[in-house]
Chain A
């Protein structure tokens, strides 16, 4: 699926992502994602990583996919999910380049990534999106379906497959080395700070 730009200027992206999709995204772009996201955070990455090191099969296919760093709160009866905002991406830095090498095309979190991850985004053509940290109630409304697909014993840290519609994110780090955090801070920093 290709990237299109809606009349409101927001880019619309469907999953899975191709290299062509990735290179059309630039730091600072507002994006709406429709399709599948896989949730994984600290504990799930801790289990995936040894499998990658040993060259074993992962419980999810990561090629072309997006991992959302989140651990949702429990759903109330009748709701699909509880609150579901992003957690800090930097804690996953240790694991991310290996997943990108396997063909993962996107991650969603909040907060800065390491230089190694930014280099890997360029090398393997992938993108780091930011969702608004602490907007978990609002973000829950874009999740249309949820199922646990691996590591159910981890509770909130289990890997979930989400189906999302128009899930709102910003491109933080693109495949060219662009960095919204650095650009944004430069634009608004005042000399005498």
Chain B
């Protein structure tokens, strides 16, 4: 049994939170460059260029890319041969968020109750999903999830009769209703199958795949490309000012489902797609 002390988890989460908000991952920067090459709209091009400059300024001047430094969504892959010692896993993660948001001058955006709306002051707690996996390592994936785009995320239970065609139409409908509000260019995380909650979790997890990389399943890869092309034909464009770049990518994960069901969840992610991961 390999022991991992909670302090190592706290340190890792703290670092990931700070880095995620200040340094966009290379896959995002490449997406801006690809879009700049094909965007026809002058206003859209200008937005893309400013966002690229914004990423550079965030990195060099240590000012968060977006003032909404997000709800920390954490996916943990805990090896079954790992023993976490010195405290609880959730508290170790939350302590990392607490330290990272304070020391990184990141915004506290979480309220303690949906009703009294009092800010917790340190951006805790995180939303934590844990999977137990074979092995003796601990993987931590962190996303700083913006609220504006999250508000446009959707779930729908389709019928098996509606099938693939129904799934496609509804995903495109999600892009239309997200419109300019969710800070396009968007990335769509899509979870299809499972149950109500499984589809939603898959739609978040799908966002961690490297942007621009193919889906390992050739059929899903073709579906992603078709949906991305259709999304970009809507004309919404960067910031909704009109243009060819409404979305940077569509990432789909699927799971077996019940004979009665065809659940589909879409997490809407903005261009401030801040994700980092580490393996301990």
Indicate whether A and B interact: yes
Report if B235 contacts A (CB, 8 A): yes
Which residue of chain B has the shortest Cβ distance to A186 in the bound complex? B235
Of A73, A110, A183, which contacts B105 at CB under 8 A? A73
Whether the pair B230, A82 counts as a contact (CB closer than 8 A) is: no
Q: How far is the CB of A162 from chain B (nearest CB, A)?
A: 13
Whether the pair B148, A140 counts as a contact (CB closer than 8 A) is: no
The segment from A48-56, A97-105, A119-127, A131-139 found at the interface with B is A131-139
Q: How far is the CB of A137 from chain B (nearest CB, A)?
A: 4
Give the top 3 A-B pairs by smallest Cβ distance, nearest first.
A184-B242, A189-B235, A111-B181
The 8 A CB mask of A129-151 against B (1 = contact, 0 = none) is 01011111110110000000000
Report if B40 contacts A (CB, 8 A): yes
Which residues of B are found within 8 Å of A87, using beta-carbon distances? 68, 147-148
Which residues of A are found within 8 Å of B53, using beta-carbon distances? 138
CA distance A137 to B181 in the complex (A): 19
**Which residues from 66 to 86 on chain A have a C-beta closer than 8 Å to any C-beta of chain B?**
70-76, 79, 82-85
Of B41, B151, B172, B183, which contacts A134 at CB under 8 A? B183
Which residue of chain B has the shortest Cβ distance to A155 in the bound complex? B119
Which residues of B are found within 8 Å of A181, using beta-carbon distances? 179-180, 240-242
Whether the pair A83, B234 counts as a contact (CB closer than 8 A) is: no
Chain B's interface size range is 35 or more
Report if B63 contacts A (CB, 8 A): yes
Of B63, B105, B107, which contacts A71 at CB under 8 A? B107
How many residues of chain A have a CB within 8 Å of chain B? 47
Of B63, B67, B151, which contacts A70 at CB under 8 A? B67
Report if A193 contacts B (CB, 8 A): yes
A111-B181, A181-B179 given as contacts; is B148 within 8 A of A88 (CB)?
yes
- Kindly name the residue among A87, A135, A189 whose own CB sees the greatest number of chain B CB atoms within 10 A: A135
Q: Chain B: interface secondary structure?
A: loop
Q: How far is the CB of B180 from chain A (nearest CB, A)?
A: 5
**Which residues from 15 to 54 on chain A have a C-beta closer than 8 Å to any C-beta of chain B?**
28, 43
Report if B108 contacts A (CB, 8 A): yes
Report if A185 contacts B (CB, 8 A): yes
Whether the pair B41, A184 counts as a contact (CB closer than 8 A) is: yes
Of A71, A110, A134, A154, which contacts B65 at CB under 8 A? A134
CA distance A112 to B181 in the complex (A): 6
The 8 A CB mask of B130-171 against A (1 = contact, 0 = none) is 000000000000000011100100000000000000000000
Q: How far is the CB of B53 from chain A (nearest CB, A)?
A: 6
Which residues of B are found within 8 Å of A74, using beta-carbon distances? 105-107
Q: How far is the CB of A74 from chain B (nearest CB, A)?
A: 5
Which residues of B are found within 8 Å of A188, using beta-carbon distances? 40-41, 44, 235, 237, 242-244
Q: How far is the CB of B108 from chain A (nearest CB, A)?
A: 6
